[in-house]
Amino acid sequence: MADLTSSSAGTRLAEARRQTSAAARRRRWQLLSPAIVIIAAFGIFPLTITLIYSFLSPGTYGGVRWEFSTDAYVQFLFDRDIFDDTLQFSATYLSIFGRSIGLAFGATVGALLIGFPTAYFIASKPANQRNLWLFLITLPFWVNLLIRTYAILLIIRDEGIVNISLMWTGLIDQPIGMLYTDYAVFAGLIYSYLPFMVLPLYASLEKLDFRLVEAAYDLYASRFQVLRHVIIPMAKPGIVAGCILVFIPGLGAYITPELLGGGKELMIGNLIALQFGGSRNWPFGSAAALILLVVVMVSLIVYVRYSGKEGSNHG
Amino acid sequence: MATQSATAQPDAHRPTAATTHEVMIHAEGVTKTFGHGSSQITALDNVTVDIRKNEFFTLLGPSGCGKTTLLRLIAGFDLPDAGQILLDGQEIGHLPPYKRPVNTVFQSYALFPHMSVARNIGFGLEMQGRPKSEIKDATEEMLALVQMQHLAGRRTDQLSGGQQQRVALARALAPRPKVLLLDEPLSALDLKLRKEMQIELKRLQGETGITFVFVTHDQEEALTMSDRIAVMQAGSILQVGAPKEIYNNPARRFVADFIGDINILDGDLDAKGERVILPGGASIRALLPEGAARTGRVSVAIRPENMNLTAPDAPEAALTGRVTNIVYFGAGHNVHVALEGGGEVLVRRAQTDAQIGAHVGLSVPDAVQVLVD
């Protein structure tokens, strides 16, 4: 009986709520309009140009000739024989994509492994100390990424402080070639994007009810079991957000592989930049940029779908 | 009914023969401080207490009295600075919570929001690595015990407060702990539900035979459910006893004041220290708690329902005064009487024909409790 009355009241409430929400929706669109204008002008419009350029032919001195061509996309997978014009499969650019995805994925995992304990540490501090720690995490943003990357370069190069001190202590006779390796790029990516991992992780760990952790301890969960069954599932929105925020910019990174990889170890970002610069192949550059975009979008959709299944229980 | 319970047992304050009861938890000289320097707070100060097997034991006191701290020390969330805690004869004071056969029902319930009701209840057994079939059976048994079978698959945030409460109980009972700790579990419920759950908890304690240690600041709740109550204040246990004993024979002024309404009167002990002479000249047998002075001026406590209104010149009138106010509260009347010679007392009667302004006499029980400050 109590259920009946409450459900009819519930229906009326839902109806009233619908009416209010229609007005609220209109207001929300008005709030969004400046952002829509900016995204249209500086996002959709250039992207359309990129899309068009990717189907044109390269000009001899850069730029494009207005002739329709799918060569840019063909070139991505095939080599065209200069004598008989036959197409042969070539994995050159695919491998650059593969490397980039591998490096970005590795950097994401690395940032997660370093960032999670860091975020947990900050979230478990008393509230008045947390801001100081967050400030320290965001401190690197005060310095330009280019300069920070140069700093890494100075530290790990052959005549850098690491090699000099190791040689001075007699541990090594020859400098270790750390610069211009995948490891250097990997470390540089983790360093550059770590704050993007820590901040969303902190945001979800800070909301974590530590009484749940106590409850799990009380119910015979060891430290590892508490982490696995309570803390990580509860921090899932932060983990998803952090991984996206590190993986995507990591995949398209330009400065880090350029400086620390020495340009010889190409990532997609460098490949694209090269097409608009030295190689003067704007259509191919546009095509590579669009392929990157599609890869990112598809992997993002898959990832969010997958993690949303368990993550939607709370939020 | 009130006058009957007024006759206090003369042996109420003798230490109960501990040998007849098996002890489940023995805390000895437990001290816990928080913070340091000038902001240091002693949450528990040298507390010693025995909690018996299969009893419903309540820690009662105002907020900040240390009752929750004592509970957390038994659970293992905090470690004592000094003293030891024995569970069933074994020292557990240093063990982490997951190694103590003790479970807690939290004030906030602390149900895992990312798990179903059934998985919440089975969590303790799952963490102990019990076989799946056993977890399933135990979960079903617990769901039946708290009458929640129909909601096993629900998410915990889709439950009402009372339902969450039942799940929290089932979750803590499922691993069959030796002791169940309950940290003000009913405080978030509305009055009607709270009364239901009080009876429900008592039933569960009886059915499971598990020792319950219940923390509350609600004296009525403590009196309703407990086998024994420990009244705490400022990090110390002031008095331990059965509800009737605590209510009718409070040994300390704080205990008397904290639980229900009480009249505190000044009197003088006679030369032998056996009787109290009230200001009106009436002489009443004194119940002296341990540590009380045997002579001189003392305070005595009399419950409002243990006093009766009489004619001013009636032989049983130990005190006289004038009715200043009569307040009806449903189950009875509170009659406020200004005493001759100063002071005011409260008399509680189911029926009264007293009039405001009337000159009345007051009868008192034949023995009264002397309080220690």
Handedness of CA A122, A128, A131, A136 (dihedral sign): negative
**What does the mean pLDDT of chain B come to?**
88
Q: What pairing do the DSSP bridges indicate for beta strands B211-216 and B56-60?
A: parallel
A215 vs B76, B110, B114: nearest CB:
B110
Same domain, A136 and A41: no
Residue A166 included in any domain: yes
Token pair for A232: 């990580």
pLDDT of residue B290: 74
Helix (H) or strand (E) holding B370: strand B367-371
Whether A135 and A268 share a structural domain: yes
Distances (CA, A) of A212 to A199, A208, B162: 22, 8, 19
For chain A, what is the domain count?
2
CA distance B339 to B305: 17
Nearest CB to A219; choose among B96, B108, B127: B127
Tell me: pLDDT of A16 over 80.
no
Question: Residue B110: which of A212, A221, A225 has the nearest Cβ?
Answer: A212
Residue in chain A lying closest to B111 (CA): A212
Contact B98 A209 (CB under 8 A): no
Do residues A283 and A170 share a domain? yes
What is the residue type of B8? Answer: A
User: Where a domain ends, among A45, A62, A81?
Assistant: A45
Report how far Cα B233 is from the mean position of its chain's Cα atoms: 12
Q: Compute the nearest-CA separation of A255 from chain B (Å).
A: 41
Question: How far is Cα A97 from Cα A251, in angstroms, rounded to an integer?
Answer: 9
Q: Which residue has the higher pLDDT, A240 or A23?
A: A240
Element (H, E) at A150: helix A145-156
Burial B195-227 (b: 16+ CB within 10 A, else e): eebbebbbebbeeeebbbbbbbbebebbbebbb
**CA–CA gap between residue A125 and residue B103 (Å, rounded):** 27
Question: Kind and range of the H or E element at B327?
Answer: strand B319-328
Q: For the domain B2-101+177-253, what is the CATH code?
A: 3.40.50.300
pLDDT(B16) > 70? no
Confidence check: pLDDT of B306 > 70 = yes
Q: Report the residue from A217, A229, A314 with minimal CB separation from B98.
A: A217
Mean pLDDT calculated for residue range B262-279: 84
In terms of domains, do A41 and A153 share one? no
Residue of chain B whose alpha carbon sits nearest to that of A212: B110
Check residue A25 and give its pLDDT. Answer: 82
Probe site for chain A from B39, B112, B135 (most A CB atoms < 10 A):
B112
Predicted local distance difference test score (pLDDT) of residue A315: 36
Q: In sequence order, which residues have a C-beta less than 8 Å from that of residue B150 and are 6 or more positions away?
A: none
Chain B residue numbers touching A216 (CB-CB < 8 A): 112, 123, 127
Average pLDDT over residues B140-164: 90
Sign of CA dihedral A13, A15, A17, A20: negative
- Is the pLDDT at A29 greater than 50? The verdict is yes
The answer, for B96 touching chain A at a CB cutoff of 8 Å, is: yes
Percent of chain A with pLDDT over 70: 93
- Considering only CB atoms, A218 lies closest to which of B97, B128, B157, namely B97
Domain at A124, CATH number: 1.10.3720.10
| Angle in degrees, 0-180, between the axes of helices A236-251 and A182-207, rounded to the nearest 10 | 150
The first and second tokens of residue A212, run together, are: 């749940």
**CA distance, residue A52 to nearest chain B CA (Å):** 47
Which one is predicted more confidently, A80 or A41?
Answer: A41
Do residues A163 and A281 share a domain? yes
pLDDT over 90 percentage in chain B: 51
DSSP class of residue A81 equals P
| pLDDT (mean) for B337-349 | 87
**Rounded to an integer, what distance in angstroms lies between the CA atom of residue B105 and that of residue B118?**
16
Say whether B110 and A229 touch across the interface (CB within 8 A).
Answer: no
Helix B117-127 vs helix B161-173: crossing angle, to nearest 10: 20
A7 or B121, which is more confident? B121
Compute the nearest-CA separation of A202 from chain B (Å): 19
| Rounded average pLDDT over B173-182 | 94
Q: Could you tell me if A14 and A114 lie in one domain? A: no
Q: Where are the domains of chain B?
A: 2-101+177-253, 261-371
Which neighbouring-strand residues pair with A64?
A58
Grade residue B19 by pLDDT with cuts at 50, 70 and 90: very low
Q: What is the pLDDT of residue A299?
A: 85
Q: What is the mean pLDDT of residues A175-201?
A: 90
> Contact A214/B124, CB-based, under 8 Å?
no
Q: Which of B173, B73, B63, B62 is nearest to B125 (CA)?
A: B173
Polymer length of chain A? 315
Do residues B358 and B316 lie in contact, with contact meaning Cβ atoms separated by under 8 Å? no
Q: What is the pLDDT of residue A264?
A: 67
Q: How confident is the model at residue B20 (pLDDT cuts 50, 70, 90)?
A: low
Work out the percent of chain A whose per-residue pLDDT is above 90: 45
Considering the domain boundaries, does residue A63 fall inside one? Answer: no
C-alpha separations of B355 from A33, A302, B335, B337 in Å:
75, 82, 9, 11
Q: How much is the average pLDDT of B182-207?
A: 89
* pLDDT at B242 exceeding the cut of 90: yes
**Quick one: pLDDT at residue B12?**
43
CA–CA distance, B204 with B120 (Å, rounded to integer): 19
Checking if the pLDDT of B11 tops 50, the result is: no
Same domain membership, residue A97 and residue A35:
no
Residue A75 lies in a domain: no
Residue A5's pLDDT is what?
52
State the Cα–Cα distance between residues B81 and B85, nearest whole angstrom: 12
- SS3 state at B64: coil
CA distance B123 to chain A (A): 7
Residue B3 has pLDDT above 50, yes or no: no
Query: Is residue B56 within 8 Å of residue B212, measured between CB atoms?
Result: yes
Q: Cβ(B295)–Cβ(B286) under 8 Å? A: no
User: Cβ(A220)–Cβ(B175) under 8 Å?
Assistant: yes
- Smallest Cβ–Cβ distance between A314 and the set B76, B98, B113 belongs to B113
Question: Rounded to whole angstroms, how far apart are CA atoms B88 and B180?
Answer: 14
pLDDT value of residue B269? 87
pLDDT bin (cut points 50, 70, 90) of residue B35 is confident
Which residues, 6 or more positions from A43, have their beta carbon under 8 angstroms from its beta carbon?
Answer: none
Distance CA B172, CA B142 (A): 10
- Asked if residue A54 is part of any domain, the answer here is no
Tell me the C-alpha distance between B326 and B283, whole Å.
28
**Which segment of A48-52, A297-301, B177-181, B283-287 scores lowest on mean pLDDT?**
B283-287
A117, A226: one domain: yes
List, for residues A261-283, the tens digit of each pLDDT value. 876 667 899 999 989 988 889 99
A149 assigned to some structural domain: yes
B171 touches chain A (CB under 8 A): yes
Best mutation target among B71, B77, B108, B114 (most A Cβ atoms within 10 Å) is B114
A78-131: per-residue pLDDT in tens? 888 777 778 888 888 899 999 899 999 999 999 999 999 999 999 989 989 999
At residue B260 the predicted structure's pLDDT band, cuts being 50, 70 and 90, is confident
pLDDT at residue A1 in the model: 44
The amino acid occupying position B20 is T
Q: Would you say residue B10 has pLDDT above 80?
A: no
Question: Which secondary-structure segment (H or E) carries B320?
Answer: strand B319-328
Looking at residue B189, what is its pLDDT?
84
How much is the pLDDT for A265?
63
Establish if A58 belongs to a structural domain. no
According to the model, what pLDDT value does residue A227 have?
93
Here the tokens at position B154 are: 């629900």
Contacts of B114 in chain A (CB under 8 A): 233-234, 310, 313-314
Query: Which residues are bridge partners to A62 per DSSP?
Result: A60
- Which neighbouring-strand residues pair with B27? B49, B85
What would the pLDDT profile of A165-174 be if each residue is shown by its tens digit? 888 888 888 8
Q: How far apart are CA A84 and CA A81, in angstroms?
A: 6
Per CATH, the homologous superfamily of domain B261-371 is Nucleic acid-binding proteins (2.40.50.140)
Give the pLDDT confidence score for residue A111 in this predicted structure: 96
pTM of the model: 0.77
Residue A52 main-chain phi, psi, to 5 deg: -65, -50
For residue B117, pLDDT beyond 80:
yes
- What is the pLDDT, as a whole number, of residue B213? 96
What range does the domain containing A219 cover?
A: 90-311
Are A107 and A175 contained in the same domain?
yes
Q: Give me the pLDDT at residue A18, please.
A: 77
Contact B104 A215 (CB under 8 A): yes
**Using the 8-state DSSP alphabet, how is residue B132 labeled?**
H
Please write the tens of the pLDDT for every residue from B211-228: 999 999 999 999 999 999
Which among B77, B155, B175 has the least Cβ separation from residue A220? B175
Residues 211-240 of A with CB under 8 A from B: 211-212, 214-222, 225, 229-230, 233-234
Q: Is the four-CA dihedral B258, B262, B263, B264 of positive or negative sign?
A: negative
Residue B360: both structure tokens together: 């009345």
Dihedral, B284, B289, B292, B293 alpha carbons, nearest 10: 30
Per-residue model confidence (pLDDT) at position A140: 87
Residue from A219, A307, A310, A312 to probe the interface with B (highest B Cβ count within 10 Å): A219
**Segment B136-164 mean pLDDT:** 90
Q: What is the pLDDT of residue A39?
A: 93
Contact residues on chain A for B171, CB-CB shorter than 8 A: 219
Q: What is the pLDDT of residue B187?
A: 85
| H or E element at residue A308 | helix A282-311
CA atoms within a 13 Å half-sphere pointing along the CA-CB vector of A240 = 20
The size of the A-B interface in CB pairs under 8 A is 68
CA of A6: how far to CAs of A19, A72, B148, in Å? 20, 64, 21
C-alpha A276/C-alpha A263 separation (Å) is: 15
Same domain, A29 and A97: no
Inspect the interface and report whether the beta carbons of A218 and B104 lie closer than 8 Å. yes
Cα→Cα distances A142→A147, A230, A245, A269, Å: 11, 35, 19, 24
- Asked whether the beta carbons of A292 and A252 are under 8 A apart, the reply is yes
Is the CB of B149 inside 8 Å of chain A's CB atoms?
A: no
Indicate whether B286 pLDDT > 60: yes
The pLDDT of residue B327: 92
